[in-house]
Structure formats: C-alpha cells, structure tokens
Amino acid sequence: MEHLFSTLYLKFEELKVQNEVLISLLKKTSELLHSEVSHYNWVGFYLLDAQKNELVLGPFTGASTDHTHIPVGKGICGQVAESKKTMIVQDVSEQDNYLACSLDVQSEIVVPIIKNGHFVAEIDIDSHAFAPFTKQDELFLNKIAAQLSQLF
C-alpha cells in the first residue's frame, strides 16, 4: 500500500498543478482516490458553512447520498468537524452517532482539512469492506488534506 500511496500522491500533485480552481481539484481528487484504491467505495468532500454551522456536500465520486447538509457534531463527519481530528471507524454498526449513507457501507475514514487552525472542510471515505483502513491510509489522506488546506 505504501508504494500505491506514494504513486497516488505524485498524481495528486500533478492534479494540483493542472486544476487551479478548488472545486475542480476536489472533484479530480475524489475521482483519483475512488478509482485507484480498491477499498475507497465513496470519496467526497464536505465544506464548512460557518454561518449555518453545518457541512455542505461538495464534489464526490460514488453513489448519490441524501446527506448533503450535516450539522456540525452529527454523524462521523460532524464529529470530525467539531474535534478537528481524523476519525477511523472500522465498523459503522458500532457507532451510535452514525449517519448511514448506504447499507453497503461498513467502515469510514474522515480527515479534517484545517487552515490556520480552523476547520474548513474534510475528506470523507466510505468502504464496503470491514476494517480496511490502516495507519497508511490515515497518513496519506492527512498529507492530501494538508496540501488542500493551502487552497481554502
């Protein structure tokens, strides 16, 4: 996996140079991660609407979701917005505060995008596999989030 993530990071850096518009880069990034990592079945970005204190669904790749607006604090995504810390849930059925997007989702990783100490957005990835996320996923996605934060 380490080699895959190194290769993907280089592809992400190329996308960053080619896509100066943030929304375009987020869409291309979601497509890249979804197509190249077998256990990334849904990849999307939630952007903070600070005035409404909610997350708004941005670009994503995967099945449609009803969760286009999520209050900060609600669900895994809302908890990450509140804590500003990455959250890995290897078995979503064990979470009381989980918003089910699909019956196929078994696990989720959500990585905050922080700009100048403030939460601005997050990367949300759902998997149909049980407990697929490793420390390597977390490190790789945190690296992507750090690069994206510069564009907010």
Segment 33-59 shows an average pLDDT of 98
Which CATH number is associated with domain 2-149?
3.30.450.40
Could you report the per-residue pLDDT of 98-146, keeping only the tens digit for each?
Answer: 666 666 889 999 999 999 999 999 999 999 999 999 999 999 999 999 9
77: buried, middle or exposed (CB in 10 Å: 19+, 13-18, 0-12)? buried
> Distance between CA atoms of 102 and 62, rounded to whole angstroms?
11
Enter the pTM of the model: 0.94
Segment 35-51 shows an average pLDDT of 97
pLDDT at 41 (0 to 100): 96
Mean pLDDT over the full length of the chain: 94
Tell me the chain's radius of gyration from C-alpha atoms: 14
User: Position 129: which residue type?
Assistant: A
pLDDT at 101 (0 to 100): 66
SS3 letters across 22-33: HHHHHHHHHHHH
Percent of the chain whose predicted confidence (pLDDT) is above 90:
86
Segment 71-85 shows an average pLDDT of 96
